[in-house]
Structure 1
């Protein structure tokens, strides 16, 4: 048994099991967690010093060996590898070394709000497309990297599970497992014996549908982690049996006062007062009492402001210029395109209306309750006819029978566009045939004959509209209501634009297949996506598309906003997104939806800045729609006006009043919850400073290209400024490590998107760093002597790695962390040396060599540089102390901006590691 002789502190170097390690922050005297000196966090081990055969001893970091000198390019490679490998960077935001996204200033506001709460309870209700996923991910990743949480779960609707899983991996480098009705059994089977789900998978994305059943709900409550993120949180607070169970689940989760809860929704208040205050009560049960007393001076409302943030796009426009690329949200340019129901198509539409009226007269004689059949068949048929000839044929040839004949017939989601809190519905065509098919054959034949641009004026107008859009360089998404319409439109667009890449994506495909089909369009110079509303939530389209066409009007204004928000959202690179609404100007169904529903929603959005959902009232909306649908179509092709729907509008007067009331209540909440007093610009300098210290996109590109060349596998040029990485030519140990990350086949690289935190960058940096510390002929050089025109006097650059022990107290609990940074110290001149340590020093290594020195001269210069440093050890210690004070000041500045709770202290870990020594000689000597 080993006798304990040392107390090792976080950041200390030790030698154990034949190699050097860095002591990690969660170590104790009798139990050490160690990370290999040149390795990654994933390579950490835990050991008990008493049980080691050889004692754990202090270690010292060896200085560079002049006999293993390299050239300037190899020196740059080491500098870049050191910076890009850092994950626990020395900055006030612990997570920034682990994320693959550059947040905008306004996206730091929820993070700053979270830092000021002992237990994070936040409702983030920002507008569609602003970036709530990123805001929540930043908070969760920051809590994890600070050591305040070890596990968290995302609860979301089933159609968002894959998106969350992908976002957590690609943006936050978190490997999440999906827990759905389909995957739960497999996930649980694969758990090692005796190991819990969250012990084996620290990050889990859970489908809300999965935890509907009592067994699953109780199991999740028993194992729930210390942090929960809830997306589309409004679906857990409104009325309805399934939603009530969700609310009860969240209520029980919040009974643990130490559990963090982050609620996300773009529609916190959809007109349902009870649901809104239910949502607020999850933050704190006291907030439920605000219902009916939400006055600006109420102390409880002011307390709520610490937990609730809600911004419109115009609220965050002031931060657009603060981004490094100066890019904010694009301008959303809206236009309308109309067509007339003229000629054969107009006659067909009139014949369908006549059929519906005759049907009504026939069914009326069947007694009470038959009206719902008339309503269903009329709405189904006229909606499909308004969509496309293909959808009309489908409706006319599909018999209405079975379960659709009961009281719930008009709730069929194939007929409507979803409720305000649940916009995912079926894109199958509703059945409309109530009589023998023989009686409808004429209508079916007419619909088939009118298919195509010549007979279908709606399709002809779409094709005419797409031409200029494509010519101007836009990539449109055409949204259709039904599957048959999407395929019909895509087929004819392909014929009209043979040079364009055209794809149709519908609910026939699985979510994974939908994403793959969208991503496969990336190489198309001109692309048009035709989609149903299966893509209006859950799949982001901003990286490939820049325009939206509403081929079919939605009967719910929230659906239009969801469609446009897939393209016009955070990450869109275009300066302008074009949105087109296409409708029949003499189609009574389009006329009613446009003038009575969509125009009202648009007016509310213009007044408030965000959309207030249409209140739910199925019976009134259906009755009004039927009255409008059976109106005699004007023989003169003039646009419909609201006055033409006076009779139908009477039905909606109570609903319109509720909608207006919801608007007024939403306006009352706006000012206090936009969080204008929190100034992220106060902490943006820390963000930019950390980004510079950790490595920029330009550093990533230079490093990857240089590393691959030196490893014998240069990047191959590919289409559109992309490159192809070929792992098969790399050294075997590196190939094995890449394979562990799933990188086994050639990888297409876009340097505009490849972030420093990508596994490929980290693994190459680790490999080169380890090689530089142990290899006989390292590819990345720890020392070099270079002739250059970039200096006027002999200048030596010392590349240093500093470690700091960072401690703070939060919720009366102490936390210890270790921070690392790569800095450079330079000395200029020899007779009267001048020390330099500002941020520009490290850039000296980027000077251009102008000649070579003989090997003996190189060794002589390097030995002199190392002797000089050994004679001035106080310079390293002073730099370490100064960097520790700078780090503490940065933390204090962020703490003050966030009104953070807790106390910080920073201590440098000595001695400083001398990673590299590089002598720059003036070419004139």
Structure 2
């Protein structure tokens, strides 16, 4: 048998209608159910079918069920909301489980204008880089230009990426980590790699960077990759070198598409910035910023925006981020604590003075001094733990721990350092003092409790960040005594990433069940990897971080896109009586704050830490008093002067970087109209709400308004409908938010929400099948009088199918669908789209006698064939031409780029036909 069906044809097989998809082989058919998704597609050989596969037509039967105006509106909305294969240039819009902000579409437009998309997306923390990358990914998938991808990220971000891809973009990916790779590879043929078997992957950079794995990955790597925290792949550490070698190898393929994401692309280090740019194009490594052509080329690949660029740049996003209120909480030390601090300093400086001029030994002594002093300032529990530890052969690892550097494993280290120098009597005395302090009042903990009381009374949900594990447990226990009615948990590095996520989720769920508040204590293991904006709105820095970007990362877990609170608070605790707090504030944090105020960017410490160490030691000695000569003898004042120069350089470089690369070339007026055009065909959030409210009311279960949310009670729905909802994990009563950000425990009501999708699919099926939901009375034809028209008007609700041919590196044929409402008076089209929808939405002013209704409907059916061959066919062809122009406009750029042609499949499917009768007729 010869199979001569073309993609997009409507055929009948196995007792139902199907749409033909591009065939996998000659003589074979790929079929998708007419109202189904690509995931429902089947492959069949017509020669093996009991009944022949035949061309079919989607006709409007003479005995189609009649309906009334209000239910015709529901049918039109249901058709529009069931479509997932949009024909417009934003094909992914129908698949999104959220409403993207217009500014987040800028990187997508930039990507579409490149032959091989390679972008460095360097927006500030919390603006939405994951969303921006996901939009590009989803769009290329829906355009048929992407069959596989890998997200490369630090291990603690793997789970977050999996969740975001699934919940926002409907993409199911698998994690490739040291813990999952062996399981995924088990049972695969020798000739098949893990990445061939699983085309959508989120890969731990630290797992894949090893030499052997790197080589295998390079051979099987998809031609589309996203690299998160890309700045962590261009440093000088051993782990960063391996990551850079991995990415450099992947970037050598000129056809590989790459998205690099980072909030800190430059930060004053020209060499590292050049290496990052080289991953986009080796020519960019020259950083010839004085060349206008160089800057113009780079601007096509580099987008970098601060929050102020979004809120004041004409994007109308004044409320996209919460107001951020920053305060400081100084606390005094008791005489016993001051005495303990001074005893520790004296002990450490005595050891330093005995070291002599040996540079390595002296540097090691400085590190141990600062590490021990930091633990003393953190809590008596952390001080005791550090004093009980002893130096080992890996003591030089203390330096990155002191300065809160990200380890090669991407995780914060929260164990107390081995900071003790030797087993001598002076040290034993310090241990005894620390043990005593554990038993007396702690003004730092008391200060935290006092600031929490009014915050909790105002309804705040705080996260308290500590530096050390021992401190986190100590603070958690103290808060439990102070607030016995609250559930208070601690999340530390002693838990695996999955356990951390589960503990936060359990805390949130437990407090939601009580209707109470949330109070979490955490170390910096939680400052990256788990977004907390849905559950928390306040950050308290119980311990100062010595890396300015760590403060930003802590606050960025809460103060980011999607935070429902209008105000986010951050509070920094420090003691004016503490020599170490004063040193850190003076040498690091105050300087970084000045740069942020001037440039809008938080910069990390300079890579060379020797001057930082010297400056901190000098400050500690001078604050202790009487040690100036020792500071001069050890030449520590040189470090202070060098640090001042380093900060000046960082500030100047960052200012230059911002001036060069602020991405303001793409204006809101270039983006917003394109997105509004998509919404008009797919339905706006307002349209979605109206449909769900009206449909639930038709089932006798109206939505219940509760503060800013809607409650949908599903228990009273039709049994078959309830079963379909339960299959999508919806039952009982669910909370729906009407706009982002959605509060914790609520889901944003969108066109892809399972409730919306199930209701729309069920109503559409009910109109086509007389048996389905018959009591609802959803029909396909109707007639009623209205004041909205002056002449007899017919409204045709049509589903249009298109063939999209993507002319790119690999030519692809895609199928797309669009719902349209067309108003005709005689043979003339008088309104389409929103104007036609307004006519349908106009209420009927009276009822018609059944005989009159039958006559109008019968006449409309008789004229339908002529309309399909005439004005409706012309409309569909014109619509295809418009879509071709839309695709071309969004892909416009210098040089050759892929293009799209759109061909209409005739005739369109007539889902409904309604007659509007003038009131005076």
Say if 1:419 and 1:616, in contact at 8 Å, map to a contact too.
no
Judged with a 3 Å threshold, the aligned counterparts in structure 2 of structure 1 residues 509 and 761 are, in CA distance, closer, same or farther, namely farther
1:427 and 2:425 correspond: no
Distance in 2 between residues matched to 1:49 and 1:196, nearest whole Å: 34
Q: Name the residue aligned to 2:799.
A: 801
1:884 and 2:871 correspond: no
Q: Name the residue aligned to 1:689.
A: 677
Of 504, 510, 515 in structure 1, the residue corresponding to residue 496 of structure 2 is 510
Of 599, 610, 613 in structure 2, the residue corresponding to residue 622 of structure 1 is 613
1:299 and 2:287 correspond: no
Deviations 1:655-712 (A, max 9, x none): 4434433443343333343232223421311212212321233443444455567779
1:395 and 2:389 correspond: no
1:258 and 2:255 correspond: yes
Q: Name the residue aligned to 1:449.
A: 439
Q: Find the residue that maps to 2:255 and give its secondary structure.
A: coil
1:660 and 2:648 correspond: yes
Q: Name the residue aligned to 2:66.
A: 69
Q: What's the TM-score once normalised by structure 2's chain length?
A: 0.87
Q: Find the residue that maps to 2:737 and give its secondary structure.
A: coil
Say if 1:125 and 1:310, in contact at 8 Å, map to a contact too.
yes
Distance in 1 between residues matched to 2:479 and 2:262, nearest whole Å: 36
Unaligned runs of 5+ in 1: 636-642
Judged with a 3 Å threshold, the aligned counterparts in structure 2 of structure 1 residues 105 and 714 are, in CA distance, closer, same or farther, namely closer
Of 139, 164, 167 in structure 2, the residue corresponding to residue 167 of structure 1 is 164
Q: Name the residue aligned to 1:3.
A: 2
Q: Name the residue aligned to 2:709.
A: 721
Q: Name the residue aligned to 2:405.
A: 418
Distance in 1 between residues matched to 2:749 and 2:82, nearest whole Å: 15
Judged with a 3 Å threshold, the aligned counterparts in structure 2 of structure 1 residues 193 and 707 are, in CA distance, closer, same or farther, namely farther
1:177 and 2:174 correspond: yes
Alpha-carbon distance, 1:228 to partner? 0.9
Q: Find the residue that maps to 2:540 and give its secondary structure.
A: strand
Q: Name the residue aligned to 2:324.
A: 332
Q: Name the residue aligned to 1:640.
A: none
Alpha-carbon distance, 1:845 to partner? 4.1
Summarize the alignment of residues 750-899 of structure 1 with structure 2, pairs less than 5 Å apart: 750-752=736-738, 753-778=748-773, 779=776, 781-783=778-780, 785=782, 791=788, 796-811=794-809, 813-827=810-824, 835-848=830-843, 858-873=853-868, 874-896=870-892
Summarize the alignment of residues 348-387 of structure 1 with structure 2, pairs less than 5 Å apart: 348-357=340-349, 371=362, 374-387=365-378
Distance in 1 between residues matched to 2:632 and 2:481, nearest whole Å: 39
1:674 and 2:674 correspond: no
Say if 1:226 and 1:259, in contact at 8 Å, map to a contact too.
yes
Distance in 2 between residues matched to 1:399 and 1:540, nearest whole Å: 34
Judged with a 3 Å threshold, the aligned counterparts in structure 2 of structure 1 residues 820 and 411 are, in CA distance, closer, same or farther, namely same
Q: Name the residue aligned to 2:741.
A: none
Q: Name the residue aligned to 2:552.
A: 561
Unaligned runs of 5+ in 2: 739-747
Q: Name the residue aligned to 1:639.
A: none
Distance in 1 between residues matched to 2:77 and 2:785, nearest whole Å: 20
1:700 and 2:694 correspond: no
Say if 1:237 and 1:246, in contact at 8 Å, map to a contact too.
yes
Q: Find the residue that maps to 1:87 and give its secondary structure.
A: coil
Summarize the alignment of residues 600-619 of structure 1 with structure 2, pairs less than 5 Å apart: 600-619=591-610
Say if 2:228 and 2:261, in contact at 8 Å, map to a contact too.
yes
Alpha-carbon distance, 1:195 to partner? 5.8
Say if 1:329 and 1:570, in contact at 8 Å, map to a contact too.
yes
Alpha-carbon distance, 1:920 to partner? 5.2
Distance in 2 between residues matched to 1:91 and 1:344, nearest whole Å: 71
Distance in 1 between residues matched to 2:718 and 2:253, nearest whole Å: 50
Deviates more, 1:532-541 or 1:458-467: 458-467
Distance in 1 between residues matched to 2:59 and 2:195, nearest whole Å: 40
Judged with a 3 Å threshold, the aligned counterparts in structure 2 of structure 1 residues 412 and 728 are, in CA distance, closer, same or farther, namely farther
Alpha-carbon distance, 1:800 to partner? 1.2
Alpha-carbon distance, 1:231 to partner? 0.8
Alpha-carbon distance, 1:591 to partner? 0.8
Judged with a 3 Å threshold, the aligned counterparts in structure 2 of structure 1 residues 697 and 715 are, in CA distance, closer, same or farther, namely same
Q: Name the residue aligned to 1:43.
A: 40
Q: Find the residue that maps to 2:341 and give its secondary structure.
A: helix
Say if 1:796 and 1:865, in contact at 8 Å, map to a contact too.
yes
Distance in 2 between residues matched to 1:277 and 1:232, nearest whole Å: 16
Deviations 1:493-547 (A, max 9, x none): 4554566664433223332333344344273554333322112111112233333
Alpha-carbon distance, 1:268 to partner? 1.8
Judged with a 3 Å threshold, the aligned counterparts in structure 2 of structure 1 residues 332 and 201 are, in CA distance, closer, same or farther, namely same
Q: Name the residue aligned to 2:745.
A: none
1:901 and 2:869 correspond: no
Distance in 1 between residues matched to 2:194 and 2:757, nearest whole Å: 28
Alpha-carbon distance, 1:835 to partner? 3.7
Q: Find the residue that maps to 1:283 and give its secondary structure.
A: coil
Deviates more, 1:121-130 or 1:339-348: 339-348
Say if 2:614 and 2:637, in contact at 8 Å, map to a contact too.
no
Say if 1:270 and 1:420, in contact at 8 Å, map to a contact too.
no
Deviations 1:9-35 (A, max 9, x none): x43212233321123357787554321
1:81 and 2:114 correspond: no
Alpha-carbon distance, 1:807 to partner? 2.9
Distance in 2 between residues matched to 1:237 and 1:851, nearest whole Å: 72
Say if 1:20 and 1:59, in contact at 8 Å, map to a contact too.
yes
Say if 2:20 and 2:30, in contact at 8 Å, map to a contact too.
yes
Deviates more, 1:564-573 or 1:146-155: 564-573
Q: Name the residue aligned to 1:313.
A: 307
Judged with a 3 Å threshold, the aligned counterparts in structure 2 of structure 1 residues 855 and 506 are, in CA distance, closer, same or farther, namely farther
Task: Say what the alpha-carbon RMSD is for the aligned residues.
Answer: 3.8
Say if 2:356 and 2:362, in contact at 8 Å, map to a contact too.
no
Distance in 2 between residues matched to 1:715 and 1:222, nearest whole Å: 53
Judged with a 3 Å threshold, the aligned counterparts in structure 2 of structure 1 residues 780 and 673 are, in CA distance, closer, same or farther, namely farther
Distance in 2 between residues matched to 1:825 and 1:645, nearest whole Å: 88
Say if 1:159 and 1:511, in contact at 8 Å, map to a contact too.
yes
Say if 1:783 and 1:862, in contact at 8 Å, map to a contact too.
no
Say if 1:320 and 1:328, in contact at 8 Å, map to a contact too.
no
Distance in 2 between residues matched to 1:68 and 1:698, nearest whole Å: 28
Judged with a 3 Å threshold, the aligned counterparts in structure 2 of structure 1 residues 901 and 782 are, in CA distance, closer, same or farther, namely farther
Say if 1:229 and 1:262, in contact at 8 Å, map to a contact too.
yes
Q: Find the residue that maps to 1:872 and give its secondary structure.
A: helix
Say if 2:209 and 2:242, in contact at 8 Å, map to a contact too.
yes
Say if 1:7 and 1:29, in contact at 8 Å, map to a contact too.
no
Distance in 2 between residues matched to 1:335 and 1:713, nearest whole Å: 47
Say if 1:163 and 1:539, in contact at 8 Å, map to a contact too.
yes
Q: Name the residue aligned to 1:462.
A: 448
Q: Name the residue aligned to 1:638.
A: none
Of 172, 184, 187 in structure 2, the residue corresponding to residue 187 of structure 1 is 184
Q: Find the residue that maps to 1:449 and give its secondary structure.
A: coil
Judged with a 3 Å threshold, the aligned counterparts in structure 2 of structure 1 residues 406 and 531 are, in CA distance, closer, same or farther, namely closer
Q: Name the residue aligned to 1:228.
A: 225
Say if 1:381 and 1:395, in contact at 8 Å, map to a contact too.
yes
